[in-house]
Chain A
Amino acid sequence: MPQSSDDPAEEIINMLRTLSAKLKTDFSGQGLMVVVAAVFGAGLLFSSVYTVEPSEQAVILRFGRYVSTEAPGLHFKLPLAIDQAIKVKTKVILQEEFGFRSSGEVGSRTDYSNKSFKEESLTLTGDLNVANVEWIVQYQISDPKKYLFNAREVLKNLRDVSQSVLRRVVGDRIVNEVLTTGRVEIAEEAHRLTQEVLDRYDIGIRIVTVKLQDVNPPESVRPAFNEVNAAKQEQEQAINQAEQGYNKVIPEASGNAEKSIRDAQGYATAAVNRASGDAARFRFMLEAYRAAPAVTRTRLYLESMEELYGRFKTLTIVDKGVQGLLPVFSSPQTPSPAAEGSR
């Protein structure tokens, strides 16, 4: 306790002395007492009532010792500094951002520069590559008592642990998983592990969710990653072109094949039918021929010759006795005697 306590005490006594002397002249002693009591009473009342908002719970300490946790509403406590009500927002879901800050907060958070955002988000992957991982953690104060009594800087603990855990999770994956397929899995595992560590600290925090935001390759590497994506497109395009060629050629060829087979089948039918027809005709003719072979043979021959010789534009008949080809007589256009004779 202060060693210089004598001087102030004397001063107070002097002050009171002058005060009482003054008051004595203005008021009666009783009047003064009433005013003082009223003011004192009002002060007592004021300090013994408090309200707890719907999103809060209040932890009551008596001389610093925990008494109770109060739900939302109007409450009374022992006045002055005897009871102390500490309100904690237990229903509100709070959010911490890593590797970035929402635009609304950037100005107000002076303790983080852009550089440290980057430091927060640059993460080593299991194959010793680097990925830029941004994420958020949403949490709730699940136990206000533990929240207040078990750690001094709960938020800082949360931030430290979340960073450490996320790096651990990302560190067990290769860069491609981190950038593409692994996002959900990473967030879930980070959620679980962060909660585990915080439970070990027993600081009354419940992690609601961990979500990965932008996950990118580092700035200078990004074009190379884009090149890979472009290559994928090229690959797809090449394959599509080839497929297109296939689709263009094969169905047409199949159609043509089908057609030529059908044609052949047509040919087959025709050939067989023709043969059958010819055969039938021959059989009928043969039957009739056999009835009068000599006459029929002659008739058929003569009829054929008649028709045949009528077709010739020029018919030259050479007598057997003539030597060489001349003299000849020909019968152009005008019916030759022979032709006439044959008709």
Chain B
Amino acid sequence: MSPDRRLATIVVAFAALFLLNASVYTLSEWEQVVITQFGRPVGSPVNTAGLHFKVPFIQMVRRLDKRILNWDGYPNQIPTKDKKYIVVDTTARWRIINPLLFIQTVQTESGARLRLDGILDAVTRDTISNHNLVEAVRNSNAILERVRKKSEAQKTQELQPGSEEEEVTGEVEGIAVGREALSGIIIEKARAGLKEFGIEIIDVQLRRIAYEASVEAKVYERMISERQRIAQKIRSVGLGEQAKIQGKTNKDLQGIESEAYRKVQSIKGEADAKAIRIYAQAMNADPSFYEFVRTLEAYRKAIPAGSTLILSTDNKFLELMRKR
């Protein structure tokens, strides 16, 4: 081979490679493409992964993602239906389902994001401001059920120490829609609008709902006063409980003491009665002798030693003295 021919071979080989490169493209599992010819979409979009061919140079490949994509909303200050100012931070997942339509209407992902911003922000704002705050916070009325049971239990029983804090403070009103259903409403409303851009909205999550700064301070104030009220209640329940126990102490004490007194008296009385009967039975055999003997005994017992006695000689004891 002459040098010129070799050179020619190399040039042809490179040209062939170049041509091949321009007419072949690979597609990843997470991609889908629209083939455009002078900017005009040709044929149906390709979304099977692998090696594909196209007409070199005049056909262009517009790659689009096939996967689930994220959309992040700016935290929005929205007044709810019950005039509470809250910050709502939404996030959504979406997917390009109609690449052709997508290319024609929004062209690029950043174009799509602009549309998403517009539609989702507006829909979220509408939905939130058409409902009360609780609808966006709570998902079910299970909490009401629990609160109802608790308050019933509190009604039937007396106030138990330790249970005061369980009591529900703040506002617990029933909900008709709920957080998840609100997301559903937002999705439903956004879906129709986004369909014409070849976008499918998979879900919208209310990632964060918070009080707006000025409202937050007021909420905190309310929380503080609530806690103080609860603390006060706990204390007074404690004092009440203390008084109850003190009362019970007095009651039990009186009971014990009077019961003992009653028993003592009846035991003694019973014994006295028995003694009376025994004496009476014995003495009745000869009452006058009893009187005589008992009188003498009484003298002995009743008159202490060292007393002074003035006697008349009339005395029976001195009878003999007198006669002498």
Near B by CB (< 8 A), chain A positions 221-257 give 221, 223-225, 227-228, 230-232, 234-239, 241-243, 245-246, 249-250, 253-254, 256-257
Given contacts A62-B50, A254-B256, A301-B296, contact A217 B285 (CB under 8 A): no
B38 at the interface (CB under 8 A from A): no
Indicate if B170 sits at the interface (CB-CB under 8 A): yes
Asked whether B114 is an interface residue with its Cβ less than 8 Å from the other chain, the reply is no
**Which positions 227-270 of chain B face chain A at CB distance < 8 Å?**
227-228, 230-232, 234-235, 237-239, 241-246, 248-249, 252-253, 256-257, 259-261, 263-265, 267-268, 270
Partner of A61 from the list B29, B211, B216, B249 (CB cut-off 8 Å) is: B29
Given contacts A218-B220, A236-B238, A301-B296, contact A317 B67 (CB under 8 A): no
A124 to B207 alpha-carbon distance, docked (Å) = 12
Q: State which residues 6-44 of B face A: CB under 8 Å.
A: 6-7, 10-11, 14-15, 18, 21-22, 26-31
CB-based A-B contact count at 8 angstroms: 374
Stretch at the interface among B97-105, B121-129, B134-142, B193-201: B134-142
Q: Which residues of chain B come closer than 8 Å to A12, judged between CB atoms? A: 14
The residue in chain B whose Cβ has the minimal distance to the Cβ of A297 is B292
Confirm or deny: B192 has a beta carbon within 8 angstroms of a beta carbon on chain A. Answer: no
Contact across chains for A246 and B143 when beta carbons are under 8 A apart: no
Q: Could you say which of B139, B265, B292, B311 contacts A318, with CB atoms under 8 Å apart? A: B311
A228 touches B308 (CB 8 A): no
The B-contacting residues of A in range 1-59, CB under 8 angstroms, are 1, 5, 9, 12-13, 16-17, 20
Docked complex Cα distance between A317 and B310 (Å)? 6
Do B300 and A304 have beta carbons less than 8 Å apart? yes
**Residue pair B282, A282 in contact (C-beta under 8 Å):** yes
Q: Report the interface size for chain A: residues with CB under 8 A from the other chain.
A: 124
Question: Could you list which residues of chain A lie within 8 angstroms of chain B, going by C-beta atoms?
Answer: 1, 5, 9, 12-13, 16-17, 20, 61-66, 119-120, 122, 124-130, 148-153, 156-157, 160-161, 163-164, 167-168, 171-176, 197, 200-201, 203, 217-218, 220-221, 223-225, 227-228, 230-232, 234-239, 241-243, 245-246, 249-250, 253-254, 256-258, 260-261, 263-265, 267-269, 271-272, 274-276, 278-280, 282-283, 285-286, 289-290, 293, 297, 300-302, 304-305, 307-309, 311-320, 325, 338, 341-342
Establish whether residues A269 and B271, one from each chain, have CB atoms under 8 Å apart when the complex forms: yes
Q: Is the CB of B219 within 8 A of A129?
A: yes
A121 to chain B, nearest CB (A): 10
B165 CB within 8 Å of chain A: yes
Cβ–Cβ contact A124 & B279, under 8 A: no
Query: Chain B interface residue count: which class?
Result: 35 or more
Contacts of A129 in B (CB 8 A): 169-170, 219, 223, 226
Q: Is the CB of B161 within 8 A of A239?
A: yes
Within the complex, what minimum Cβ distance (angstroms) separates B139 from chain A? 5
**A12–B225 alpha-carbon span in the complex (Å):** 82
A292 vs B237: C-alpha distance when bound (angstroms): 85
Q: Is the CB of A167 within 8 A of B206?
A: yes
Whether B153 sits at the interface, judged by CB under 8 Å, is no
Inter-chain contacts of A285 with B (CB < 8 A): 289, 293
Within the complex, what minimum Cβ distance (angstroms) separates A308 from chain B?
6
Q: Do B219 and A282 touch (CB < 8 A)? A: no
> A197 to B69, alpha carbons, bound, how many Å?
15
Task: Give the distance in Å from the alpha carbon of A283 to the alpha carbon of B289 in the complex.
Answer: 11
CB distance from B78 to the nearest CB of A (A): 14
Residue A65 contacts which of B50, B137, B207, B305 (CB distance < 8 angstroms)?
Answer: B50
> Looking at B29, B169, B227, B307, which has the most chain A CB atoms within 10 Å of its CB?
B227
Q: Are B299 and A304 in contact (CB under 8 A)?
A: yes
From A175, A272, A316, A338, B170 is in contact (CB under 8 Å) with: A175
Cα of A283 to Cα of B48 in the assembled complex, Å = 133
CB proximity of B13 to chain A, nearest CB, Å:
11
Docked Cα-Cα span, A234 to B249, in Å, equals 21
The answer to whether B205 and A164 touch across the interface, beta carbons within 8 angstroms, is yes
A227 touches B296 (CB 8 A): no
Contacts A129-B169, A245-B246: A172 and B142 contacting too (C-beta < 8 A)?
yes
B283, CB-defined interface residue at 8 Å: yes
B166 CB within 8 Å of chain A: yes
Most chain A CB neighbours (cut-off 10 Å) among B202, B238, B276: B238
Distance (Å) between the CB of B258 and the closest chain A CB?
A: 9
In the complex, which of the residues B252, B286, B322 contacts A286, with contact meaning CB atoms closer than 8 Å? Answer: B286
- Tell me, rounded to whole Å, the shortest Cβ–Cβ distance linking B280 to chain A: 9
Q: Given contacts A257-B257, A279-B279, is CB(A153)–CB(B70) below 8 Å?
A: yes
CA distance in complex: A223, B220 (Å): 11
List 20 A-B residue pairs with CB atoms under 8 Å apart, sorted by A's residue number: A130-B216, A150-B68, A151-B68, A152-B65, A153-B69, A167-B206, A217-B223, A224-B225, A227-B231, A234-B238, A235-B161, A260-B261, A267-B271, A278-B278, A280-B282, A282-B293, A285-B293, A304-B300, A309-B317, A320-B312
CB <8 Å contact, A261 and B306: no
How far does the alpha carbon of A245 sit from the alpha carbon of B279 in the complex, in Å? 49
Of the candidates A171, A264, A311, A319, the one whose C-beta lies within 8 Å of that of B307 is: A311
Closest 7 CB pairs of A and B: A235-B238, A268-B271, A257-B260, A279-B282, A242-B245, A127-B170, A275-B275
